Structure 1
């Protein structure tokens, strides 16, 4: 193993040290060995007596001249490729063991131009100053570490694989110890090295791709979320803390996750979180789907259909195509107050596959950036859906914003058609979704609905604003499956009845976003647009199972948006609150809180 041809002798002016070939054209050594490379030529030779190959320093760890300074790493690029096979690396943990592993260093001290070997072992796997591992002599005799060994590869005696590099020796020749810069620490300073070092689960192609995606970013490019924050989001609240030294770059954090964090899924979460702060759409998609390709479904969880998704026979009888009896595959958009001001929101977009949820984007945003962000992430969430998935876009909104015109949002910068015409779209109440009691009641409601041939619609007309909300809540719990409002929840009286219906765990609520405000009591509203709206609603919902309402309302919206009548179609501003917890279960996958 010690005769490997990749061992190199490095000269720089009057300085001599060691190095080792890691690619056909790159050699690693200590920065202090080539400290005078700005004025003196650097030469690299691989065999005694051969002419040195000129080289130049192409990467530097930041070492600034003192013995205790970190980053004592330099990468040399040879003038030409060399024919010998580069060194191979061991896994970071392979340098340690019980009994200790014997490590060999091949150096070039004075009068040993052909090189000589020193035998050492790692004292422990504990890093000194977050950078070095202490070395001690394997035996009380033999070659000590002296000048000329700096930059030498430390290899496992039994396999010849590299675990680190000699960076220093004791000043007192009577003390036979030194320092090793472990290979995975060197990869902090030269990201390409990470591709060569074995790490759990991820091979060289995946790491190379991640390096290309991450290494070019500086922390200043993502001011809303630096490397430490991305790291904490990736490992979760109970994961390993940020190392005391912090992270110098996003790659530093990504490499730490690859090489030192046992949870192999954390680095994929890191990449997905970084995607959220990436403006370039192709790069964002590549980060989010790393280590998979954007259309690679390998490892995707199976989709299990919840009960209750029946085909509506009336749709087929009316000449419309009946949807297949498949479960919904929702794209969930949750918009919540951030807690840091009235004009900032926490926005999260996810895609569901059965019970498994993949977060596509999660950001704290000012109000003016919410719409563009949501629309962009909805479009990207479609990459997570199977080709035959039944799409459903579900907005979870705070109660006071349920009347927001999300169905009328332009689908994208290049498509002015309403989002509600693109796919079935529903809204849900944020407070109700977070209530365990109301979610339980909703599940019981759906069990009841599954056993019924049709749902019961309770009408709340424009003139009902004086109704007692508490009595309405209790009555709706017992006797209504759907509630139709003749007016939007804008006036105080209607808002109170709207809230009463939400608290009754009614799974379906419908209303016109505009029209009569319902502020007057009594019979003054018999001929208003609200009453006509409820009549048309009752006519069109007759005998339709609630589980199919998102598809049917989508068809109604398409008809309304495409209508060329001078008068607006009655369903043009139709809003649908529809919530089946079985389609949007509590996620079992990656969740995080982006507050900060």
Structure 2
């Protein structure tokens, strides 16, 4: 067996004949994370099998132990890529005995939590040179999101040799300063892409299908260096090293948050401490409460503790991360008891609308139990820490109090909530997000989402919004509909409902959030009237689209897109080759794509792409969308290209790129009677990250 230096968490999954079928990542003493298709190949079963029974052999390349460890798929942890409609291709194996002593489990992190801090990506896998095959560390770079539902990350080998077969399941290590966490694992190539391309299942995607992974990952929003520092600080508390003392701390912390799930426990001390800290950070004010339980005294920033002590270090860490709680444990318990009583009015009050109004952002409530008041309150308490214009939690309580008093027979719950707000709320007035100026533009926002399953079709949602004010819901479909029916619903609800919510004579910007499979839908041709006079949207309104799927990817939503939008705005008045790319360039389509892949990474890289005159424009568009480019203009697939390149040049060279939607609107009006005019066949992806703050959706 080959012994190799490097990460002690690497595993090799083999079949009964001893042949390697792929890699894996040791995530704790008894569990291996890998691809489901690697396990299927090792078991000799179809890759889309609903169950995976039987044993595989797990070898550890860095271990001196020569014998393999048998392993089986853990129940409820088998998610094969059966229909390729998701990023699911994950499996969790349980070892029949503890890992070899000379191995160690990996430090895990989410891809998007690290952001631009990643300096290098590395994987240890087989390399084919044609004449021989061997294993070594290879460097890769991330090109952006892609694959089904944008749940994968496309990678490109930086060296001249492509990764060899059998790399699937191998952990991908990110170099971040002195740390090297595993942020995902290789899932293999995709049909139709070059051999040197491969894909990664990031930890956030694996966590989505295997929720138990969340107990092994740093909490959302906590930088990796800060997380490691917090673990080091808690190592300084003697009580944390004793299992009996940790049992007492966990019990007391769970009693302080009776409506939250129990904390996971681990036999190994450092893993148990990480789970305890992660659980505390997921609870509003949980780390401050844990500090009180350990020290026996409340946290006082003015008197953090003796210099150099663990108490002083923890107080400094909490202050640096802005984790002081909005509420005390007692006030939070009072609020949750009141909200539990108010939950009975879910049929009379739209809790989700109140959440959106209080938060003041174009974001959804958490995906799970979206009508659960306690879940919404927990989310809003976290939002309070970074809120500048208002206090979302207290604004939510005030709005809910008003709605409870509006309905018939609310009982005493409205008065209880009002009393709680008077005692626990801020002494200054509770402010909602500031109103937009009178001349601020209006938007009619249509969001389409795939129906999934066997039904197909699309869910649709329509709202109106002025500048960055909270959106006003107009219509939400309860079931998916075919696209033609979606068009009819949009036409009807805009004319009958949306218009009534805006000042008379308003011409809003028509903004469409579209899934990846609809990005080439000519929404500017959707009519607003029935026959015989069918005025298309693009003749009367500015029409732009936004890529809906990529907003579910934290790295794109919170790092790539805002960073590149800032860069675009800085350079829009003086655009140059550092900001804008135009394809084709004359190098050839494949060469253009390779060039594009090399120039879309980094915060100060390309921010605007224009494509015309190529047979497959969506190949370039997909790279741009996955990398978080905020502005993409392209001639749709199959459209007549006569004059298209010249029209795009005129749009880009006509002045400040911030006025691109207006210039495209004028071009569409000029295309009134000419079906082959480029103004009838251009799509503008315009993702304004300033107007719509992008936050995790749950």
Which TM-score bucket, shorter chain as reference?
A: 0.3 to 0.5
* TM-score, scaled to structure 1: 0.41
